[in-house]
Every structure is written in structure tokens, then in C-alpha cells.
Amino acid sequence: MILRTLILRTLSRKLLLGRITQRVAAKLGAIAAIVLLGGLLSATLVRTAPGFDSDERELDPSLSAESLRAIHQSRAGEHNILGFYINYLRGVIHGDLGTSHALGQPVQTLLRERWPVTARVDGIGLFLAWLLALSLAFTTCFWRRPAFEIFGITLSGAFLCIPAAVLALLSVILEAPGYLAIALIVFPKIYRYSCNLLAKSYASPHITAARARGLGEVRILAWHVLPVAGPQMIALAGITVSVALGASIPVEALCGLPGIGQLAWQAALSRDLPLLVNLTVLVTLVTLLANSGADVMIHMLSPREEFS
């Protein structure tokens, strides 16, 4: 009997591991396809953008006709969109992401220098946003007092009404750190969704049954509410990475933080198209990895769904 149970358990674990590996592989394949497609889309947009062919150096009156022809020649390979994208991908394989037109530096160096700043600011901001949102949501749903609900809704509603860039400006005026602005931008989205999720979980019949049987509130929360709301919260965590990345543009640009967001803003203002293509691909990749990571985690935490 024991041997049978052991064999069954080992088999089910192997099956689960195999399914998770399969899911991870499928997700990675999908990510690669979407990133490649996204890259092609942004390369097409860049190539067809007005003024792509023009070069500021062409306005220099001291340049001879031959020099101007050489400048034109240097961009000849970029006329065909597919050729332009294939050349870009070939460069990426060899670790060459091109050179920024505006900053005159290799894109790879710029990304390597700036990424840690964004990761730190967004990381702390996300942590604070989740802490604040979950504390408020749990307080609201756990004690079920209208005052908490009104406070939470008003606070999140107020931050939802203020543009991200204004929150960044206010953080500059009040000399608050940039990650606080990120936290306040992301907080209302987490609060509203998690509050709805928790309220929905608390309203389900099995919670009423558990209460009727005399189970404590903490136990109900830990054993009956969180397992129901947890997977969707993990999915929300993946989405908030995307929200934080978007928020990092105004926050870094206005707070003077040298991260990816500020780089994207500078690239947009100076129409630095090669840099924009790379940033688009990078941000798409990070967002997709965060969402897929959340998806895989959900399936790892709910094996029953896998076997059904």
C-alpha cells in the first residue's frame, strides 16, 4: 500500500514537473515570437517615420557634395524594412545593438548603465505600492468597517485622478524620492483590484459556511480566502511590472534619475530611432517575462488545475 502511494506520488510529481517544463517552454517560445514581431513592428514604424532618411549633418554647409553622398550611402542599407530589421537582428546576435544617434554611444553601454537605476527605483516603488495596497485592502475586507472602505476608495481614487507626470512633479517639489512617486502611481491599481478580489472571495458561500462552523477570521483568511484570490493577485503582480515601467518614464525624466525611462524620453525628444527600437524590444521582453513568470507561478501553485 505504502509502495503504491510512493509510486503514485513520484509519478504525479514527474507529470507535474513535465507539464510545468512544457508550459515554460511554450511561454518562452511565445515570448520570442512576440518580441521578434514587436521588434519588426517598431522597425517598420521607425523606417516609415517622416524624416527617417534625413541626417542633421546634411544641413552643414561646409560639407562637400561627396561627403553628403557618403552620408546618404551610409543609410542606403536601411531603405528596405526587412533588410534593416535583419541587419539589426544580426547585430543583436553579435551583441551589437547599434549606436544612439543623439548620445553618440553604443546602445548596449547605455542600457547596461541605465538598467540598474530603473530596476532599483521600480523595485522599491512596486514593493511600497503592494505593501500599502494590500495593507489597506486587507484592513478593509478583514474588519469590514465602512470608514476603512471610504478611506481606501478616496485615497486610491485621488491618485487615479492625478496624471503620473504630475505625481512625479509633486515628488520633485516636495523633495520626495522617485520610488515614492512610482509607488503612488501603481498603488491605486493594486488596491482597487485586490480589494474587489478579496471582497468577492469573502462573499463566496464556503466562507459563510466556514464562519457558521465557528472558524476564526485569521484562519478563514489564510486557508479559504488567500488560496482563492492568490492566483489572480500573482497575475496582477505581473501586470504591475508593466505599469511601473510605464510610470518610470515621467518619474525618471522629471526627477532627473538616469534610468531607462529617462533614456526613452530623451530618445523620443531627439527622435533617436535606433535607441527607441531597442528600448521597445527590451521593455516588451521585460513585460512579457514578468507576465509569463506570473502565469507559470500560478500553475505551479495550483497543481489540481493541471491534472484536471
Partner 1 sequence: MNVSRKLACVVVLAVCTTSLAANWLAPAGYAKQFREVPNAPPSHQHLLGTDDVGRDRFARVLYGTRISLLLAPAAALVSTALAALVGGLAGYLGGIWLRMARGFTDLFLSLPWLFLLITVRALMPLNVSPLVSVLITFLILGLLGWAASARVLSTSADALRNSDFVLQARASGLHGPRLFLIHVLPNLKPVLYAQFWISIPVFILAEANLGILGLGVAEPLPSWGSLLRELEGLISFREEPWRLAPLLLLIIVMTSFQLLLSNEEVTA
Residues that bind partner 1 (CB under 8 A): 34, 37-38, 41-42, 45-46, 49-51, 157-158, 160-166, 169-170, 173, 192, 196, 242-243, 245-247, 249-250, 253-254, 264-265, 267-269, 271, 273, 276, 279-280, 283-284, 287-288, 291
**Which of these, 215, 218, 227, 221, lies nearest to 202 by C-alpha position?**
221
Nearer residue to partner 1 within complex by CB, 225 or 252:
252
* Residue number with CB closer to partner 1 (24 or 153): 153
Tell me, what DSSP letter sits at residue 106?
A: B
* Nearest approach, Cβ of residue 38 and partner 1 (Å): 6
Burial of 22 (0-12, 13-18, 19+ CB in 10 A): exposed
Task: Give whole-number Cα distances, 46 to 31, 35, 268, 297, 304, in Å.
Answer: 22, 16, 12, 36, 46
CB nearer partner 1, residue 210 or residue 273: 273
By beta-carbon proximity to partner 1, the closer residue of 8 and 30 is 30
d(CA 207, CA 221): 9
In the complex, what is the shortest distance from the CB of residue 164 to partner 1, in angstroms, rounded to a whole number?
Answer: 6
> Shortest approach of partner 1 to residue 281 CB, angstroms?
10
Q: Where are the alpha helices (DSSP H) in 49-80?
A: 65-74
How far from 181 is each of 102, 152, 159, CA to CA, in Å?
28, 18, 10
∠ CA 243-246-250, nearest 5°, is 130
Pick between residue 38 and residue 231 the one whose CB is nearest to partner 1.
38
Beta carbon of residue 65, minimum distance to partner 1 (angstroms, whole number): 27
Query: Nearer Cβ to partner 1, position 93 or 173?
Result: 173
Q: How far is the CB of 285 from partner 1 (least distance, A)?
A: 9
What is the closest distance, in whole angstroms, from the C-beta atom of residue 145 to partner 1 in the complex? 19
Place of cell 524624416: 51
